[in-house]
Structures are given as C-alpha cells and as structure tokens.
Amino acid sequence: MLRLTEVKLPLDHTEADLKGAILQKLKISAVDLKDFSIFKRSYDARKKNAISLVYALDIETPKQKQLLKKFKKTGRVSPTPDMGYQYVAKAPSHLEIRPIVIGVGPCGMFAALLLAQMGFRPIVLERGKAVHERSQDTFGFWSKRKFNPESNAQFGEGGAGTFSDGKLYSRIKDSDHHGRKVLHELVENGAVPEILYISKPHIGTYRLVKIVENIRNQVVELGGEIRFQNRVETVEIEESKNNRRVRGVTLENGEFIASDHVVLAVGHSARDTFEMLHQQGVYIEPKPFSVGFRIEHPQPLIDQQRYGRNAGNSILGAADYKLVHHCANGRTVYSFCMCPGGQVVAATSEVGRVVTNGMSQYERSGKNANSGIVVGITPEEDYPKDPLGGMKLQRQLETRAFKLGGETYQAPGQLVGDFLAERPSTEFGQVKPTYRPGVHLCDLSESLPDYAIAAIREAIPAFDKKIKGFAMKDAVLTGVETRTSSPIRIKRDDRFQSLNTLGLYPAGEGAGYAGGILSAAVDGIKVAEAVALSMVAAGE
C-alpha cells in the first residue's frame, strides 16, 4: 500500500470529494484506486474562517511501483510502513518467580497487559480501589466532601488519567509502534475507532472507566493477578558488596511477595512511596514541574476566537488552545491540560489539602472551557539540594489553598479582573465555576509564591492578545494546580532499571518519564519489554 500525505479539503467535503482528491493527487483513474483508508486526520485553523481538514491516507492500487517512482522527490507518497506490534519475548513454560507491577494507572496497566500477553502472569498491586468503586468515592468527595486518601482522583484503578479529558496525544511520532499498540488496545477494549486517526484523540472520563475494566479483565484472563487496596509499604532491597538488588515487596498488612523484577508505576502523587524509596537509598533527583491555577471561560468565547464562523462545527467540536508567555522575571507561563467543554475537579490525595485538575466527557458539551495556567519552576532556583524539595513545595501550596478555601475542601478562587487589579473577589459574574465541592472567593495572591503571581498577572493580558477575551473580567481562576508532573525523577539506565538498584524498573509519570496517558502507557510497554527480556535471559 501507499501512504499519501497532505491532502487538504474543506470542512464540508464529502467522501466522494476525498476520493476525487486522491485521484487528482496521484493522477490515476478511478479503476486504479482499489481501496483507501484514513491514517490520520488533522485540521489547519491558521485562517479561522477558512479551516481545512488535512489527511494522510493509505492507498491500495496496482500502480504502486510506478507511483513511488513518479512522486519520489515530493516526499508526499511513500510505502505504507508496517506498524504491527511484535512481542519481544515469550515467558518460559515454568515461571518460578513472577514480576510485580506497582500501580494500575496507564503505565502500570499497560505494563501488566503486555507482560500478561507475553505469558509472564504479573502480580499487580494497587493501593486504591477498582475503578467503579473508586469512581463512587471520587464523585462522593466532590458532592459530599467525604474524602478517602486511598481512593480519589489520584489513587485507584486507572490512575489520575481516569478523571481527566482522556487526552491521547503527545509528542510520540505517528509511526511509533508502541503508541499504535496503545491506541489499538484501547479500541479493542471499547474506545471509539476514531482515536486511531484524528490528530487530537480523547476518550472522556465515563468511557475510560469501562475501558479500564475491560483491560483488567484481559490481564486476569491471561493469568495475571490484580490486587486492589494492597499498598506497598516497602520495596525490599538486598545489598551486597557489588550491588543492590530488589528481592520483593512488603505490603501494608505485613505480607511479603518475592520478586526479582518490580515495575514501579505509582504515578506522580505517591509521595509516601517517594519518601520510602529515598530513605532506602534508591537514587532520586529533583525535577522541574509547574504550579498555578485553573482558568474558566465560556466555551463559546473560545470556539469563536479559534474557529470564527466555523464555531460549532461538529467535526471540529469544542475548541482548545495552547498558550505560552516568557515573562520579564525570567519565568515561563503556559496553558496546561486544556479541557474544552469540561469542568475543574478536586484532585487532592492528602487530607487537609486542595488540588485542582481539569476533566471532560467525550462529548465536551459543558458550558465552560478550562485550562491550567501554570508557572515553570526549577530545582536549581526553587528547591536546590533536596531531591524531595519539589514535593514539599507542592504540599505547602496545597495546604495554603485548603486554608484559603475555608478548610472545607472548597477551593480558593478569584475573578480574573480582580486578580489583575489586585483586589479580592466578592461575587461571581457571567462565568460560574464548575469546581466541586465549591469555590470560595478570596485574594489568590496569597496562594502562590510572589514570582508565580507576578508571572501569571503578566501572562494573562499577553494571552488576551492571542485569544481576545482571555482576560475577561468575569473569567474565574481556581487554585491551586500543583500536580502538573512528578517533582522527582527516579533515574534509570538503558535497561530501564534504577541506576543503583537492580530489578527495580521506575516507569511512567511518577518516575519522571512520561507526561500524559499515551506517553505513560507507552513507557509501561517499553518497561514490560525490558522486564521480559531480563527474565528470559535469567531463565526465570
């Protein structure tokens, strides 16, 4: 087959128009076009009143050789690459010691799935509850303020990505076999097929819940074991003169499970686990992350500014945005995890702290658009010489937000107009906040370090020049956003093992090697491959 790229058509085109464009681009007759399929569909919105769809297509034609030669120099016609996934190993028939996977977020889930598909029957340990029970606890907290520190928007089956927009785009290349494997598995387990080809795929929270359950069932059917409400207390490490090696884990209830291969996929909020590993001497270094607020605007405002007269088009859906501003004080402010037609959610995982995040359903039909507006911070400048300094800063800001919100798990909030004018807010205007358990209006200047407040105050008017209305006085800021990424990195070598602890495989967002559902899942697959190859080499 042939891969034909850069086929542009207007939004209202028909399938016949698409077929006609293929014939015109390749200069072939209809009889020579046997079949075609969409590999990728994106859109070009640089001219918002003349938005076009851009296709990459896989073409079946008897003239493949001639066309490859004819269009060799254009770069727009090439052989369709083989993107099928190939397993790197197969488990021995008699597996004496099974691998352990800690955590069932996107990374741990796909590590477990791949290990199970290769026959290694992983033991999966999750501190939280199964996704259905976890959903009840999370929504219960949002509506009734009944908080469970082990079952919430961060902890439990599916990880933090379950209560998000379900975004599946990243910087991973379209041709990456691991990324395609993730997307195909999601479709096989209930995701809509369009995620295989649209440029900014997303699933939505409610759909993610069922997909997560289906993947879990597949792991179990293949011989894996998934144990919920089993928090790992200690990763057991044996030290000798020449090395340090994992020998298993001890659970909170005192049970010991032996294993020479432990995948650490705990997510970016497993702070007690980070502390435990640091105390045990596992090499950890501090990593940059960002802090800030969630901002909410009317979704129609964003649609109009991004799409002009095409606002509301069903193919385009609710509009998103991506913004960045470099400030006079040397800081950078950018939009993070933008959720069109979504809501701001309570995402704390610790008692007495307030954390925000964004979430959307598949339809993205909510009244408000929301996004993190966050400021980059660095270990060298903000928490030098302390591997856990970023985590401590997060806790400090989250505790401050809890107090500013009235110590009821309401979040502190402020209207953008008041924030820019440096005065407290007293009542909401046109934009009603979506955060539950509720927003307590105050002065947000007390919630973040002075440099972050100054940077955000400079950035919002700058963003207004790119999206008119971004600085609207009634837009709502809700604090605080602190879990943009892990504040640490558990460094690993080229075999995906900890730099100083053999058999420990740091993976995903928590270890500092991913940023989102897709990249975390891909990292889980790569780590599973490394575990499989190591176990086969060791003859286990």
Domain segments of the chain as ranges: 2-79, 100-285+488-538, 288-481
Q: Which CATH class is domain 100-285+488-538?
A: alpha beta
Rounded Cα gap, residues 151 and 144, in angstroms: 15
pLDDT at residue 202 is higher than 90 = no
Q: Which residue has the tokens 């400079």?
A: 458
* Range 16-44 average pLDDT: 96
Confidence of residue 205 (pLDDT cuts 50, 70, 90): confident
- The stretch 402-429 carries a mean pLDDT of 98
Q: Please check whether residue 123 is in contact with residue 257, taking contact to mean a CB–CB distance below 8 angstroms.
A: yes
Tokens of 48: 């918002």
Asked if residues 520 and 508 have their Cβ atoms less than 8 Å apart, the reply is yes
Q: In what order do the strands lie in the sheet with 439-441?
A: 324-326, 332-339, 368-377, 289-298, 476-481, 411-415, 439-441
Mean pLDDT of the chain: 95
Is the pLDDT confidence value at 173 over 80? no
Q: Collect contacts of 276-280 with beta carbons under 8 A, ≥24 apart.
A: 276/233, 276/234, 276/235, 277/235, 277/490, 278/387, 278/388, 280/234, 280/235, 280/237
Which residues lie across from 55 on neighbouring strands? Answer: 7, 41
pLDDT > 90: what percent of the chain? Answer: 90
Residue indicated by tokens 């891969």: 3
* pLDDT at res. 171: 66
pLDDT tens-digit map of 281-318: 999 999 999 999 999 999 999 999 999 999 999 999 99
Residue 334 to residues 373, 484, 510, Cα–Cα distance (Å): 6, 11, 22
204 pLDDT exceeds 90?
Answer: no
Provide the token pair at 338.
Answer: 């933008």
What's the whole-number mean pLDDT along residues 269-283?
97
| pLDDT surpasses 80 at 175 | no
β-bridge pairing 488-489 and 285-286: antiparallel
Q: What is the mean pLDDT of residues 34-40?
A: 96
pLDDT in the model for residue 87? 97
CB–CB of 462/334 below 8 Å?
Answer: no
Is pTM beyond 0.75 here? yes
Mean pLDDT of 124-151: 95
Q: Which helix (H) or strand (E) holds 246?
A: strand 244-251
Amino acid type, 81: P
Instruction: Supply the DSSP symbol for 498.
Output: B
Residue 540: pLDDT band by 50, 70, 90 thresholds?
low
* Tens digit of each residue's pLDDT (9 = 90 or more) over 177-186: 999 999 999 9
With CA atoms as reference, report the closest residue to 445 among 437, 436, 454: 454
- Supply the DSSP symbol for 521: H
Element containing residue 375 per DSSP (H, E): strand 368-377
Cα angle 269-510-392, degrees, rounded to a multiple of 5: 50
CA torsion angle for 101, 102, 106, 107 (degrees, to 10)? Answer: -60
Residue 322 has a pLDDT of 96
How crowded is residue 174: how many other Cβ atoms within 10 Å of its Cβ?
13
CB-based contact 533:89 (threshold 8 Å): yes
Mean pLDDT of 328-333: 98
- Hey, what are 313's tokens? 């088009």
Average pLDDT rounded to a whole number, residues 344-371: 95
Q: Is pLDDT above 80 for 146?
A: yes
Count of CB atoms situated within 10 Å of the CB of 258: 13
pLDDT digits (tens, 9 = 90+) for 431-464: 999 999 999 999 999 999 999 999 999 999 999 9
Give the type of residue at 473. K
**How far is Cα 360 from Cα 362, in angstroms, rounded to an integer?**
7
The mean pLDDT value for 100-104 works out to 98
- Options 3.30.70.2700, 3.20.10.10, 3.40.50.720, 3.40.50.1010; CATH for 2-79 is 3.30.70.2700
Quick one: pLDDT at residue 172?
A: 67
